[in-house]
Chains A and B, each alone.
Chain A
């Protein structure tokens, strides 16, 4: 194998046969010469890094791979120095579009037939799906894991680091399935408390008396069968974050106790004679409008203001339709990995149905619809017939009171997508994963006026 030379004249001198072999490999592969300049770069490497072969060859490998280890702990440098290969080391790279994701890399020396050192070879594999699954199991989400192009959410991302850095109580409002716990975990994992526990409690899932002992714990002898002390969730979340989900379900009696705990920063386990000081950050969430509950006298006003230090309102999915292709793509990657399938994506007619539906169950419902489609779709694209019939009928139903806002949302989404693609309809259709004629029809139906080109 001879290391090619790069220069302004064009790509490296490498036989087509070698490129065909390299391109047939599913993992990204590149080789470098002894000056760390890339001498070959396969198709998978182009896909993973977002850098074309013609742009990569001749460049320093660190400028192309853009990995967090390039400057201080370069694996190729280690291999070149020691002669030892490195196998499956996990690193993070940033692709040409700014996406940061984990890859697994392996390195080895490259020698010619006479054993002379030519350089080194690096293979790498995108492991973001595995990482995503691992996070799903461990619930270690960061705000980088929240997928959205929605303006409201992007604005929220901007302030999330500040919200996380402060220790204030946060109230997250949003319909069921909008990702309230995901946001709570992201805030926790972004905060200085990230190494401390994150404890979640669903206030609506337990009866009042049980919830009190769950929250504050109890002492031995507090009641029959209380044979030894049991720490409550406040104790378990000490120095960390306590996530109180469905806080609107708390009874008035427990609301009073919680208010006192928040105000005085102390609580009393059941049966205890002394108060215990706590250093717990509270993130509360509700799928109800707490202000309405306050007006109805079902939620204490003083507690409402105590927990509503910083309010995060998560939009329902029907108000962020532009995120559907992004979310669908993410679910398909996840289910492909979980179910060992190779579903390629969603057909235009199916995407059309997904975009027309109002999603009362929000992202959770969308995930379930894709999971159901995986049962029916064996390979290729998810088509309309793989989606529940209720979606088609709901999508085809005449516009009701929500129709106007949905239409507006679709029009706004399409206009944004067109603008981002320089008003190029063909490019926009490709980006959205729909056929160009579907896009043309929608532009006409929604009355979107394109600027003169």
Chain B
């Protein structure tokens, strides 16, 4: 089984439709998953689907994704875990430990995101700060 995560630096890329890079894990290797990286050849659904198909991807873990793109990828039998956020290693561990549905791994407003016809269930209860994927604040001297 091959798992692909769309990544930006050490985190899940926020928007899959604009993401460039994939981290691919080949889980068939029994000792340790073999890791590789790949770049998308284009941004349109057709080229993304063919890129995933060419690499034999079974599972895609990604951030926000547009409905047509998600539908097209899922129609190829790829299991899509969308609207996910967080550091790659944490997300991966959560996926392997069946904990990806935890609130901390969902983009705001997207927890338990159902079918497109239903409204997105709202988060309830304790609000948590996202995990450590932060943009670097401007440093002194960088501003006018």
Q: Spell out A's residues near B (CB within 8 Å).
A: 6-8, 10, 34-36, 49-52, 54-56, 58-60, 62-64, 66-72, 74, 77, 80-83, 92, 94, 96-100, 117, 143-144, 149, 154, 157-159, 161-162, 164-165, 190, 416-417, 420-422, 427, 431
Minimum C-beta distance from B83 to chain A (A): 8
Question: How far is A361 from B40 in the complex, measured between Cα atoms in Å?
Answer: 43
CB pair A52 B109 closer than 8 Å: yes
> Contacting A81 at CB < 8 Å: which of B15, B65, B119, B143?
B143
Which chain B residues border A67 with CB–CB below 8 Å? 15
> For the complex, is B44 an interface residue (Cβ under 8 Å from A)?
yes
Most A C-beta atoms less than 10 A away, residue of B49, B63, B118: B118
Question: How far is A422 from B115 in the complex, measured between Cα atoms in Å?
Answer: 11
Stretch at the interface among B29-37, B88-96, B131-139: B131-139
> Contacting B107 at CB < 8 Å: which of A63, A80, A82, A161?
A63
Which applies to chain A's interface (DSSP): helix, strand, loop or mixed?
mixed
Question: How far is A55 from B115 in the complex, measured between Cα atoms in Å?
Answer: 20
CB pair A63 B85 closer than 8 Å: yes
CB pair B46 A98 closer than 8 Å: no
Known contacts A36-B137, A96-B120; A71 and B18 CB within 8 A of each other: yes
Which chain B residues border A161 with CB–CB below 8 Å? 44-46, 49, 72
7 tightest A-B CB contacts, nearest first: A51-B109, A158-B75, A83-B144, A100-B66, A96-B109, A161-B46, A68-B18
Closest B residue to A68 by CB, please name it.
Answer: B18
CB pair A97 B143 closer than 8 Å: no
**B interface bracket (residues with beta carbon within 8 Å of A):** 35 or more
Which chain A residues border B50 with CB–CB below 8 Å? 165
CB pair A64 B109 closer than 8 Å: yes
CB pair B130 A66 closer than 8 Å: no
> For the complex, is B116 an interface residue (Cβ under 8 Å from A)?
yes
> For the complex, is B28 an interface residue (Cβ under 8 Å from A)?
no
Q: B118-134: contact bitstring with A at CB < 8 Å (1 yes, 0 no)?
A: 11101100111110011
CB pair B127 A34 closer than 8 Å: no
Which chain B residues border A417 with CB–CB below 8 Å? 117
Which chain B residues border A62 with CB–CB below 8 Å? 14, 135
